[in-house]
Structure 1
Amino acid sequence: MVIVHLSDLHFGRLASGAVVEDLLVEVRRQRPDLVVVSGDLTQRARPRQFRAARAFLEALPAPTLVVPGNHDVYPWWRPLSRLVRPLARYRRYLTDDLRPAFVHDAVAVLGLNTAHGATVKGGRLSAEDLAYLQTFFATVPPSAVRVLVIHHHLVQLQAVGPHDVARGARRALEVIARAGIEFILCGHLHVAHVEPVVVQPDGHRVVIVSAGTATSSRGRGPHRNRNFYNVLRIEADAVQVEERCYEPARRAFIDFRRHRFERAKLPDKCWRA
């Protein structure tokens, strides 16, 4: 199984027109079984930006699993809409499904919404979504790699510098550990980073796969003005995560870093909940 992981497209603030075209070529070359987009498809949730994002999704070569990000919510200068119907345009132009799923013998993927009008940037997972998460993963094939897709982060990662964490992250991590989730695909920070962490006290290990911005000019920190996406290659006993970086002069994505995680032997690096 091959999963392509994109995030933070930010139509309305593209790095260039070429990067979108070249990303489509690159994704087609990977021949994915699934394309995951972990939020922020638009810059300001404007109709024309959603239309551009929808055209991009329709051009992808595989089924897509998409979740919204905080930039897909009505902006702050539309306070009533932001609070009452924050994702109305996302639902209208992209999808009404805020719990998208993909299940195969080899992998089970669930997407959940962390973008809410009242949370500004940090995001949150609702109690209802956490309950649904437990129910969903209780029904998937036991041998399947379990993957959660959200926009915001649930763990403070020192390697990417100070950043916000979703509200209720500790409770969410406890539920994620009980559900046996092995990978969390997210974005939001505009920094590409892959890090295995351990949820204490039960010691469940989960790999955080944070994608950099795929097509926008909003890369941050060490990845300022750079574009990234990830490829997950799922094997019987291991998962390989490839981070790929765009080279504008060559109009091509190249290998940046590769990680291989044996399913029973993830690196023992602790994060204390």
Structure 2
Amino acid sequence: MRRIIHLSDLHYGRVDAALETPLIEAVTRLKPDLTVISGDFTQRARRRQFAQARAFLDRVPGPVLCVPGNHDTPLDNLFLRFLRPFYRYKHFINRDLEPVFEDTEMLVAGVNTVNRFAWQSGKVGTGRLRRLATRMEGAGDRLRVAVLHHPLEHAPGVDKRLMRGASAALEALSEAGADLVLSGHLHRAGAEPFRTVPGLLFVQAGTGLSTRLRDGQGNTFNQIDCDGEVLRITQWDAERGEAPGFFPAPPQAWQRGAEGWERLDTAGAGAPPAQAAAE
């Protein structure tokens, strides 16, 4: 079995500080094989905010794979945004904007979808898609996971513009045999197959720490367990009060069928590993 913890949209500069240690403690108890952070480490890409995000990263256990988000390039410093958009991200977080993690059971590849010329909406070009396909095509029978900040499909009712190249990215990922796509950006958690490519499972993480909550959702992160042909996805939700913490919701179990990913009856899919890990 492999376990991925999926965080996103920390937004240092607008965080709920009371949740920071409980989040680290919850992730540590779950003992992930890999922690993925799908962008927006900061609110305004300022050095102090990046330093705070770096301090958080240094507390995350085990290997970490991360990609930048649109908030990780300066909005109010046009010189940096257009000429050196990732200078601070590279200095504090990671020099590699499209990192890869692989072991005997999974290959996880990051994709940089930030568009310096359109701050809110992203883009993914043919060069990035070729690199991603090349990396995934050699994965064999391993789980193939793509990580990007901007989602490749929007649910009905989302009023943000879909990023440029999203359709081409879905086609390229499908042809490369990808199994799972992890995204953030919308501060909305969920898991479902892509409507246009049901052979790809789309998992979004909400915001782990930010006070910028949307659509009535609180702070969340995802736990993804791959056990053979079954993926179990558990959303962990923050609870505030005198002893704030993160607690698991009932897991979803997914298995790939002839028509794409199908949701299984959770009761028949085995005991949820999230609860066992948290005890």
* TM-score, normalized by the shorter chain, greater than 0.5: yes
AA aligned opposite 1:189? L
Q: Residue by residue, what CA displacement relative to the aligned partner does 1:134-161 show, whole Å, maximum 9, x if unpaired? A: 1101112x21111100000111212x63
1:113-144 deviations in whole A, cap 9, x for unaligned?
Answer: 1112112111011221101011101112x211
- For residue 228 of structure 2, the aligned residue among 236, 256, 260 is 236
Which amino acid in the other structure matches residue 119 of structure 2? V
Secondary structure of 1:174's match? helix
Q: Which residue matches 2:248?
A: 255
Distance (whole Å) between structure 2 residues aligned to residue 119 and residue 175 of structure 1 = 23
One-letter code of the match for 2:22? D
In 2, the alpha carbon distance for the partners of 1:188 and 1:197 equals 17
Residue 204 of structure 1, CA deviation: 5.1
Answering whether residue 185 of structure 2 is matched by residue 188 of structure 1, we say yes
Deviations 1:209-229 (A, max 9, x none): 110100010110121xx1000
The separation in 2 between residues aligned to 1:241 and 1:92, in whole angstroms, is: 33
1:267 aligns with one of 249, 262, 266: 262
- The 8 Å contact of residues 239 and 263 in structure 1, kept in 2 or not, is answered as no
User: Partner residue of 1:79?
Assistant: 78
- The within-5 A match list for 1:28-43 is 28-43=28-43
Question: What is the one-letter code of the residue matched to 1:212?
Answer: G
Q: Where do 1:116-195 residues align within 5 Å?
A: 116-140=115-139, 142-158=140-156, 161-195=158-192
After superposition, the CA RMSD in angstroms is 1.5
Whether contact under 8 Å (2:199, 2:256) holds in the other structure is no
Displacement of 1:208 in angstroms is 1.0
Q: 1:259: Cα distance to partner?
A: 1.3
Q: Distance in 2 between matches of 1:257 and 1:47?
A: 39
Between 246-255 and 25-34, the greater mean CA deviation after superposition: 246-255
Q: Secondary structure at the match of 2:206?
A: coil
* Separation (CA, whole Å) in 1 of partners of 2:59 and 2:86: 23
How far the C-alpha of 1:198 sits from its partner, in A, is: 4.2
* C-alpha distance in structure 2 between counterparts of 1:251 and 1:81, whole Å: 38
- The answer to whether the Cα contact below 8 Å between 2:198 and 2:261 also exists between their aligned partners in 1 is no
* Cα shift readout 1:34-68 (whole Å, capped 9, x = no counterpart): 00000000010000111111111111111000100
Q: Please tell me whether the aligned partners of residues 108 and 144 of structure 1 are also in contact (alpha carbons under 8 angstroms).
A: yes
Percent of aligned pairs sharing the same letter: 36
Q: C-alpha displacement at 1:107, in angstroms? A: 1.2
CA distance in 2, matches of 1:127, 1:86: 20
Distance 1:155 1:189, change over 3 A: same
Q: Is structure 2 residue 207 aligned with structure 1 residue 213? A: yes
- In structure 1, runs of 5+ residues without a counterpart are 269-273
**How many residues are paired up?**
259
Mean alpha-carbon deviation: is it higher for 250-259 or for 106-115?
250-259
Q: Which residue number in structure 2 is paired with residue 271 of structure 1?
A: none
Q: Distance in 2 between matches of 1:4 and 1:252?
A: 16
Q: TM-score, normalised by structure 1?
A: 0.91
Deviation at 1:260, TM superposition (A): 0.8
CA distance in 2, matches of 1:255, 1:74: 35
1:62 aligns with 2:59: no
Q: How far did 1:163 drift?
A: 2.9
Query: 5+ unaligned residues in a row in structure 2: which ranges?
Result: 264-279
- Other-structure match for 2:12: 11
Instruction: State the AA in 2 paired with 1:54.
Output: R
Counterparts in 2 of 1:147 and 1:153: CA distance versus 1, 3 Å:
same
CA contact (8 A) 1:41 1:50 kept: yes
TM-score norm. by structure 2 comes to: 0.89
Is the 1:190–1:219 contact (alpha carbons within 8 Å) kept by the matching residues of 2? Answer: yes
Q: Output the amino acid matched with 2:154.
A: Q
Name the residue aligned to 2:48: 48
